[in-house]
Amino acid sequence: MFLAQDAVISLLQAALAAGATEETTGLVDMSGHRACTFVLVIAEQDALATIALQIQESDGVEEPVDIAGAVATSPVNSDAKLIVVEVHRRSKRYLNAVVTRAGTGDTATGGLVAIRSGSRTTPVGAEASQAATPVVV
Protein backbone atom coordinates (compact mmCIF):
# COMPACT_ATOMS: atom_id res chain seq x y z
CA MET A 1 0.00 0.00 0.00
CA PHE A 2 1.16 3.50 -0.85
CA LEU A 3 -0.61 5.89 1.49
CA ALA A 4 -0.98 8.86 -0.89
CA GLN A 5 -2.29 6.62 -3.70
CA ASP A 6 -4.43 4.19 -1.73
CA ALA A 7 -5.99 6.38 0.95
CA VAL A 8 -7.98 9.60 1.25
CA ILE A 9 -6.46 12.01 3.76
CA SER A 10 -8.81 14.71 5.08
CA LEU A 11 -8.47 17.54 7.56
CA LEU A 12 -11.55 17.11 9.76
CA GLN A 13 -10.83 19.84 12.27
CA ALA A 14 -8.42 22.77 12.27
CA ALA A 15 -6.32 23.54 15.32
CA LEU A 16 -8.27 24.41 18.48
CA ALA A 17 -7.02 27.19 20.75
CA ALA A 18 -6.49 26.34 24.43
CA GLY A 19 -9.78 25.48 26.09
CA ALA A 20 -11.90 22.86 27.83
CA THR A 21 -14.76 22.18 25.41
CA GLU A 22 -16.26 19.32 23.44
CA GLU A 23 -16.07 19.60 19.66
CA THR A 24 -17.80 17.32 17.13
CA THR A 25 -16.57 16.99 13.55
CA GLY A 26 -18.61 16.73 10.40
CA LEU A 27 -19.38 13.34 8.87
CA VAL A 28 -16.79 11.18 7.10
CA ASP A 29 -18.38 9.23 4.23
CA MET A 30 -17.01 5.68 4.34
CA SER A 31 -18.62 4.45 1.11
CA GLY A 32 -15.92 2.70 -0.88
CA HIS A 33 -13.54 2.38 2.10
CA ARG A 34 -13.05 -0.35 4.70
CA ALA A 35 -11.17 1.53 7.43
CA CYS A 36 -10.55 4.99 8.81
CA THR A 37 -7.70 6.17 11.03
CA PHE A 38 -8.26 9.34 13.04
CA VAL A 39 -5.14 11.23 14.16
CA LEU A 40 -5.51 14.05 16.70
CA VAL A 41 -2.50 16.29 17.33
CA ILE A 42 -2.16 17.49 20.93
CA ALA A 43 -0.28 20.79 20.78
CA GLU A 44 -0.31 21.72 24.47
CA GLN A 45 -2.00 20.19 27.51
CA ASP A 46 -2.08 21.59 31.05
CA ALA A 47 -1.19 19.33 33.96
CA LEU A 48 -4.82 18.95 35.11
CA ALA A 49 -6.43 18.68 31.68
CA THR A 50 -7.59 15.56 29.85
CA ILE A 51 -8.38 15.05 26.19
CA ALA A 52 -10.28 12.19 24.59
CA LEU A 53 -11.04 11.18 21.01
CA GLN A 54 -14.29 9.20 20.58
CA ILE A 55 -15.46 7.88 17.19
CA GLN A 56 -19.16 7.65 16.39
CA GLU A 57 -21.17 6.19 13.50
CA SER A 58 -24.50 6.89 11.83
CA ASP A 59 -26.43 6.30 8.64
CA GLY A 60 -26.61 10.06 8.06
CA VAL A 61 -30.20 10.42 9.31
CA GLU A 62 -30.12 9.38 12.95
CA GLU A 63 -27.99 10.90 15.70
CA PRO A 64 -24.47 9.44 15.71
CA VAL A 65 -23.77 6.85 18.41
CA ASP A 66 -20.47 6.02 20.09
CA ILE A 67 -18.64 2.98 18.72
CA ALA A 68 -17.80 0.76 21.68
CA GLY A 69 -14.06 0.66 22.25
CA ALA A 70 -13.32 3.39 19.67
CA VAL A 71 -12.07 5.91 22.22
CA ALA A 72 -8.62 6.96 23.40
CA THR A 73 -7.74 9.33 26.23
CA SER A 74 -4.36 10.97 26.70
CA PRO A 75 -2.51 11.05 29.99
CA VAL A 76 -1.91 14.51 31.46
CA ASN A 77 1.03 16.58 30.21
CA SER A 78 0.93 15.11 26.70
CA ASP A 79 2.35 18.12 24.85
CA ALA A 80 3.35 17.44 21.24
CA LYS A 81 1.80 13.97 21.12
CA LEU A 82 -0.79 12.15 19.01
CA ILE A 83 -4.00 10.27 19.79
CA VAL A 84 -4.80 7.66 17.14
CA VAL A 85 -8.04 5.67 16.81
CA GLU A 86 -8.69 3.34 13.87
CA VAL A 87 -11.99 1.66 13.00
CA HIS A 88 -12.61 -1.12 10.47
CA ARG A 89 -15.57 -2.47 8.52
CA ARG A 90 -18.42 -0.60 10.20
CA SER A 91 -22.04 -1.30 9.30
CA LYS A 92 -22.99 2.39 9.08
CA ARG A 93 -21.91 4.62 6.20
CA TYR A 94 -20.78 7.68 8.17
CA LEU A 95 -18.26 8.26 10.94
CA ASN A 96 -17.50 11.35 12.96
CA ALA A 97 -15.18 12.23 15.83
CA VAL A 98 -15.81 13.91 19.16
CA VAL A 99 -12.86 15.67 20.81
CA THR A 100 -13.49 16.21 24.52
CA ARG A 101 -11.16 18.58 26.34
CA ALA A 102 -11.93 18.48 30.06
CA GLY A 103 -10.45 18.93 33.51
CA THR A 104 -9.41 22.11 35.30
CA GLY A 105 -6.72 22.97 32.76
CA ASP A 106 -6.70 23.80 29.07
CA THR A 107 -5.70 21.79 26.01
CA ALA A 108 -4.83 23.11 22.55
CA THR A 109 -4.86 20.84 19.51
CA GLY A 110 -2.97 21.00 16.24
CA GLY A 111 -5.86 19.59 14.23
CA LEU A 112 -7.59 16.29 13.49
CA VAL A 113 -6.94 14.22 10.35
CA ALA A 114 -8.96 11.29 8.97
CA ILE A 115 -7.26 8.73 6.74
CA ARG A 116 -9.76 6.55 4.87
CA SER A 117 -8.11 3.38 3.58
CA GLY A 118 -8.96 0.01 2.10
CA SER A 119 -10.43 1.64 -0.98
CA ARG A 120 -12.18 -0.63 -3.44
CA THR A 121 -10.69 1.44 -6.30
CA THR A 122 -7.24 3.01 -6.67
CA PRO A 123 -5.89 5.57 -7.09
CA VAL A 124 -8.40 7.42 -4.95
CA GLY A 125 -7.57 11.03 -5.91
CA ALA A 126 -7.35 14.26 -3.92
CA GLU A 127 -9.61 15.33 -1.08
CA ALA A 128 -11.22 18.80 -0.99
CA SER A 129 -9.38 19.74 2.24
CA GLN A 130 -5.96 19.19 0.61
CA ALA A 131 -4.16 22.29 -0.64
CA ALA A 132 -2.49 20.29 -3.43
CA THR A 133 -2.75 16.87 -5.03
CA PRO A 134 -0.60 14.34 -3.15
CA VAL A 135 2.80 13.85 -4.78
CA VAL A 136 4.05 10.28 -5.16
CA VAL A 137 7.63 9.74 -6.30
Residue-level pLDDT at 88: 94
Low-confidence ranges of the chain (pLDDT < 70): 1-2, 4, 121-137
Q: Is residue 39 within 8 Å of 84, Cβ to Cβ? A: yes
Asked whether residue 17 is domain-assigned, the answer is yes
Domain assignment of residue 134, yes or no? no
The answer as to whether 128 is a domain residue is no
Check: CB of residue 7 under 8 Å from CB of residue 122. Answer: no
pLDDT, position 115: 93
Residue 80 is part of a domain; what is its CATH number? 2.60.120.260
Residue 132 has what pLDDT?
63
Classify residue 9: in a domain, yes or no: yes
What's the structural domain count of the chain?
1
What's the confidence (pLDDT) of residue 135? 65
What is the span of the domain harbouring residue 96?
3-117
Residue 126 lies in a domain: no
- 3-class secondary-structure state, position 90: coil
pTM of this prediction exceeds 0.85: yes
| Domain assignment present for 125 | no
Closest C-alpha to 60, from 22, 29, 83: 29
Residue 34 counted as domain residue: yes
Q: What is the b/e burial string over 106-136, where b = at least 16 CB atoms within 10 angstroms of the residue's CB?
A: bbbbbebbbbbbebeeeebeeeeeeeeebee
